[in-house]
Amino acid sequence: MEITPLHDGWTLRAAGGEVPDDVAHAKVPATVPGSVHTDLLAASLIPDPYLGENETALAWMHRADWRYETTFPARPAADGEHVELAFDGLDTVATVTLNGTEVGRTENMHRAFRFDVTGLIQEHNSLTVHFRSALARAGEIERQVGTRPHSYPHPFNAIRKMACSFGWDWGPDLQTAGIWKPVRLERWHTARLDRVRPLVTVGPDGTGRVEVVADVAADTGGQVSVRATLSAPDGTTVAGETSGVDGASAVVRLEVADPELWWPHGYGDQPRYRLGVALTDGAATLDRWERRIGFRDVVVRTEADDVGTSFVVEVNGTPVLVKGANWIPDDHLLTRVTPERLARRLDQAVGANLNLLRVWGGGIYETDDFYDACDERGVLVWQDFLLACAAYAEDEPLAAELEAEARENVVRLMSHPSLVIWNGGNENLWGYMEWGWQEQLDGATWGWRYYSEVFPRAVRELDPTRAYVQGSPTSPGFAPWELAPNHPDHGLVHEWRVWNQIDYRHYRDAAPRFVAEFGFQGPATWATLTRALDAADLHKESPAFLLHQKAPGGNGKLDRGMAPHLPTPADFADWHWATQLNQAHAVRYALDHYRAHWPHTAGAIVWQLNDCWPVTSWAAVDGDERPKPLWYAMRAAFAPRVLTVHERDGGTVLAVGNDTDEPWAGTVSLSRQGFDGTVLATAEQPVEVGARSVGLVEVPAALAEAADTSREVLVATLDDVRVVHPFAENKDLALDPASVTATATAAPGGYEVTVTATSLALDVTVLADRLAPDAVADRALDTLLAGESLTVHVTTAAELDPLALTVSPVLRTSNGLHAVVRV
């Protein structure tokens, strides 16, 4: 196999639509892989769509057509040689022309395409890729197959393009186009590897097995063979076998006695083996394929019990408390997401104690860099098939594209040990039953065949080592008309009444079996916000600010969601802090509840980890990669060991959560004390909680009931873990607004900020990015009792005024939102 990348010498120009004159008459250098937006940005022909109101100013691009062109030298095909033009990804409606001859058309961003150009290749070659407006083509398909319900204005469900490219309630409406993945010329003779499927299992006897199924494209019935070799994590070769090609495929089986097992983060290590596959013709090697694999056994248990239907992920026989977050594309302009950026994001996921990311169905099948990063860190991947919040026609041209896309990506991703679940789609079963779709559909197809037949068949036939679930939310084992898809006692639940309709205290109304999606909004960090908006737009009613708040009625929901819990903010700076704080409080409140019900509630996946641009959203990490207060709240809630306070059966209990492999035994110290540190009542309780389990400790009435709910807290401590539980909402507490003093000094890599409390101080946080864009604090949302101190380490390359780190609006507490000291 001879491979020649074709990434050089490309140009871009407009080819149709109502395009501004300066763009219409320009031919600019094009970066491949890349997109029209990134190329026009590089040529200074469009403004940054992430800033101000520029997104709206670029709406003309939705209906524009584009032409990419390049030339390249090559040699004509030799006798018996095959020459193919391979595109790993085209976004989206493309016509490919080589030397004046059309070689193919594509309408699916999520597939790779290969065109035989053996008879066309010559010494000097001209290659053109013409992109039509995806919106225009989606409209044509919608008229052809009939309108289907969808959640946003554009018919994103009529074309196989990243759904959120058309806008979402956290993302911009940019509708990208371009050659978004690598393109190359491939030459081969005799045979090449068409696809390789490594089926990795661990048997009941502990033996690791790899069944390599290699499909071969060949031009003769020659005696080609496939050899597979396996190397251990230390590089030692531990297995190797060869098999002849029978027809168009070969099967090679390898075994490893007692392999090193791959585990999720927090449950063990992540050793990976190197699997190499070679296609040979005698002594000649025709083609090669290589991946890193991991030995682990994964089962998703959906079993009926006396409550309903469980949903438990087991890895290597161990039930895993899923601590998850949903994942969206990390930049709307996808080709700007580098392996280094993905590594930073996965480090933030692990830093927040996450062990699972759900790749959401309105985005993309991520690049292998993403799954490699998850493999390396032990972050489990739940992968949606890419259907979201819409009904999907089961007619052509969509049906064949969806099946081909599903089968291709199941094979592409199956080498990754992190991938554990395939999910039919996001909220489509729920939408069909409860969003009024049936009346609109009037009997038309809506996607059920994909979820019940096409996708499970693809997983079963191609990669039966993975679990498949028909959708999220869903009641496993039931069609949506047989049992409500979002039933809290059965399988997967999405909780969106909170945020949209009711207060976050209602998270504790139910104990679902598994929460696959829930969340609460908050604005981006200050540095991100002020990069995206001018100073005049820093108020919540400015058109630019509202353009970066995509949720319908989002600001009103932020205010209504905050009102029962926090004092009314005095100005925009306070509002920014308070809404970020309320986001963190809401999600922490839910996570504490869900975790306390383990193993009945077997996991929680927060919406969402990341953002794709600067926006007010549900993310824990904003579009400029900065952690919001929510990230610190998730880190605390998902810590290996936690203490949380709950009302159960008319009493107060302390939940002792132990997500480690060792029992947690000791004596819990309990006290009820005033904000000034006065101890009003104490108790001690012995406790022993087994590995990977939760224990409940009853709190004596003398500590569980306050004499003055506005001035007292319950404090519980076990070893170095503590919880401080107020008896009333923050807004009703008699908190001293000036409850802390602080000093700051320069330290290696940045600064140290030492904070001391003169009385109870809640949510102690240093918003260091307000002083320097690169500044980040190592901790946030801390509680200090009267007389206690802590040190916050701020990392930055900037020279800061130490005094600025010790006062508002950089040093913050929720106390500071109280305008006066209550007496």
H-state helical runs in 378-443: 398-413, 428-434, 437-441
User: CA dist 20 to 16, 62, 86, 176, Å?
Assistant: 11, 13, 33, 17
- 753 neighbors 775 (Cβ within 8 angstroms): no
**In whole angstroms, what is the distance from residue 107 CA to residue 104 CA?**
10
User: CA dist 272 to 231, 263, 275, 344, 377, Å?
Assistant: 9, 10, 9, 21, 11
SS3 424: coil
User: CA dist 506 to 367, 491, 500, 549, 755, Å?
Assistant: 38, 20, 12, 24, 34
**In whole angstroms, what is the distance from residue 616 CA to residue 555 CA?**
9
Concerning whether 427 is annotated as a catalytic residue, the answer is yes
- 173 neighbors 268 (Cβ within 8 angstroms): no
How crowded is residue 781: how many other Cβ atoms within 10 Å of its Cβ? 22
- 212 neighbors 197 (Cβ within 8 angstroms): yes
Annotate 292-310 with DSSP letters as a single string.
EE-B--EEEE--B-SSSB-
Residue 704: half-sphere exposure toward Cβ, Cα within 13 Å: 14
How crowded is residue 82: how many other Cβ atoms within 10 Å of its Cβ? 18
Q: Which residues contact 483 (CB under 8 A, 6 or more apart)?
A: 475, 490
**In whole angstroms, what is the distance from residue 578 CA to residue 560 CA?**
12
Catalytic-role residue among 84, 366, 427, 495 = 427
Place of tokens 């066309």: 120
Q: Which residues contact 11 (CB under 8 A, 6 or more apart)?
A: 27, 28, 29, 30, 68, 69, 70
For residue 485, give both structure tokens.
């898809």
**In whole angstroms, what is the distance from residue 456 CA to residue 450 CA?**
8
At 655, phi and psi to the nearest 5?
A: -90, 125
SS3 245: coil
Position 727, amino acid: F
Which residue numbers are catalytic? 427
